[in-house]
A and B are shown apart, each in its own frame.
Chain A
Amino acid sequence: MNDEEQEQFWRRIQSTVEKDVIRTDRSHSYFKGEDNPNIEVLQNILLNYAVANPQLGYTQGMSDLLAPVLAEIQNEADAYWCFVGLMQRTLFVSSPKDNDMDKQLNYLKELLRMMQSDFYYHLNRLGEDAMELLFCHRWILLCFKREFPEVDALRIWEACWSHYQTDYFHLFICVAIVSIYGDDVIDQGLPSDEILLHFSSLAMHMNGDLVLRKARGLLHDFRQIPKIPCTLHGLCSLCGPGMWDSGHVPIVECAGNHVDGICPYHSNPTSPTHVLHSMPGQ
Chain B
Amino acid sequence: MTQRSQPKQPSAAGGSKSKQIKLVLLGESGVGKSSIALRYVRGEFNENGEATIGAAFLTKTVNVRGQSVKFDIWDTAGQERYHSLAPMYYRGAPAAIIVYDVTSKSSFTRAQAWIKELLQQANSQMVICLAGNKADMASETRTVSREEGKDHAEEHGLLFTETSAKTGLNVEDMFINLAAKIVATTMSPGNDIEENVRLEESGKKGGCC
A residues contacting B by CB (< 8 A) are: 12, 15-16, 19-20, 22-24, 26, 59-61, 63-64, 96, 98, 126-130, 132, 134, 137-138, 141-142, 146, 189-194, 196-197, 200
Within 8 A of A (CB), among B123-142: none
A16-B79, A191-B9 known; A23 vs B50 contact (CB < 8 Å): yes
B53:A146 contact, CB within 8 angstroms: yes
33-88 of chain B: CB within 8 A of chain A:
48-51, 53-59, 72, 74, 77-79, 81, 84-85, 88
CB-defined A-B contacts under 8 Å, sample of 5: A60-B53, A61-B53, A96-B81, A128-B4, A197-B59
Determine the residue in chain A with the shortest Cβ distance to B8. Answer: A191
Closest Cβ of chain B: how far from A186's Cβ, in Å? 13
> How long is the Cα–Cα vector from A245 to B54 in the complex, in angstroms?
38
Which chain B residues border A191 with CB–CB below 8 Å? 6-9
| Chain B residues within an 8 Å CB radius of A61 | 51, 53
Known: A128-B1, A129-B88. A141 touches B6 (CB 8 A): no
CB pair A189 B7 closer than 8 Å: yes
Decide: A60 and B29 in contact? CB cutoff 8 A: yes
Is there an interface contact between B4 and A129, defined as CB atoms closer than 8 Å?
yes
Cα–Cα, bound, A223→B80 (Å): 38
Q: Closest chain B residue to A142 by CB distance?
A: B53
Instruction: Tell me the minimal C-beta distance from B42 to chain A in angstroms.
Output: 12
Binding site for A on B (CB under 8 A): 1-2, 4-9, 29-30, 48-51, 53-59, 72, 74, 77-79, 81, 84-85, 88, 106
Instruction: Tell me what chain A mostly uses at the interface: helix, strand, loop, or mixed.
Output: helix
Number of A-B residue pairs having CB atoms within 8 Å of each other in the complex: 85
Beta-carbon contact of B81 and A60 below 8 Å = yes
Distance of A196 Cα from B52 Cα, bound (Å):
13
A126 to B49, CA, bound (A): 32
A12 to B30, CA, bound (A): 12
Q: Is the pair B29, A19 in contact by a Cβ cutoff of 8 Å?
A: yes
Contact A193 B72 (CB under 8 A): yes
Contact in complex: A59, B48 (CB < 8 Å): no
B44 vs chain A, min Cβ distance (A): 15
Q: Are B58's CB and A197's CB within 8 A?
A: yes
Residues from chain A with a CB closer than 8 A to the CB of B7 are 126, 189, 191
Which chain B residue has the least Cβ–Cβ distance from A58?
Answer: B79
Q: Are B74 and A193 in contact (CB under 8 A)?
A: yes
**CB contact under 8 A between A134 and B79, given known A98-B84, A191-B9:** no
| Cα A189 to Cα B56 with chains together (Å) | 20
- The answer to whether A137 touches B53 (Cβ under 8 A) is yes
Q: Which of A23, A60, A146 contacts B79 (CB 8 A)?
A: A60
Q: Which residues of B contact A19 (CB under 8 A)?
A: 29-30, 51
Please name 12 further chain A to chain B contacts, defined as beta carbons within 8 Å, in addition to the given A61-B53, A141-B54, sorted by A numbering.
A12-B106, A20-B51, A23-B50, A61-B51, A126-B7, A127-B4, A134-B54, A134-B85, A189-B7, A193-B74, A194-B57, A196-B56
Rounded to whole angstroms, the CA-CA distance of A61 and B79 in the bound complex is: 10
With a CB–CB cut-off of 8 A, which chain A residues contact B78?
60
Q: Roughly how many angstroms separate A16 CA and B77 CA in the complex, as a whole number?
A: 12
- B7 to chain A: closest residue by CB: A191
Tell me, rounded to whole Å, the shortest Cβ–Cβ distance linking B35 to chain A.
10
Q: Which of A26, A63, A132, A200 contacts B57 (CB 8 A)?
A: A200
B57 & A193 in contact (Cβ 8 Å cutoff) = yes
| A16-B29 in contact (CB<8A) | yes
Tell me the complex Cα distance, A132–B30, Å: 25
Which residues from B are CB-within-8-Å of A98? 81, 84
User: Closest CB of chain A to B38's CB: distance in Å?
Assistant: 13
Using CB atoms, name the residue of chain B closest to A102. B84
Contacting pair B9 A194 (CB below 8 A): yes
Is the beta-carbon distance between B50 and A134 smaller than 8 angstroms? no
| Least CB separation from A193: chain B residue | B57
| A141-B53 in contact given A60-B79, A127-B6, A191-B6 (Cβ < 8 Å) | yes
Checking B2, B9, B81 against A189 with a beta-carbon cut-off of 8 angstroms, the contacting residue is B9
Distance in Å: Cβ of A143 to nearest Cβ of chain B: 11
Evaluate contact between B51 and A60: CB separation under 8 angstroms: yes
Residues in B whose Cβ lies below 8 Å from that of A16: 29-30, 79
CA distance A191 to B202 in the complex (A): 34
Q: Who on chain B is nearest to A145 by CB? A: B53
Whether A132 contacts B53 by the Cβ 8 Å rule is no
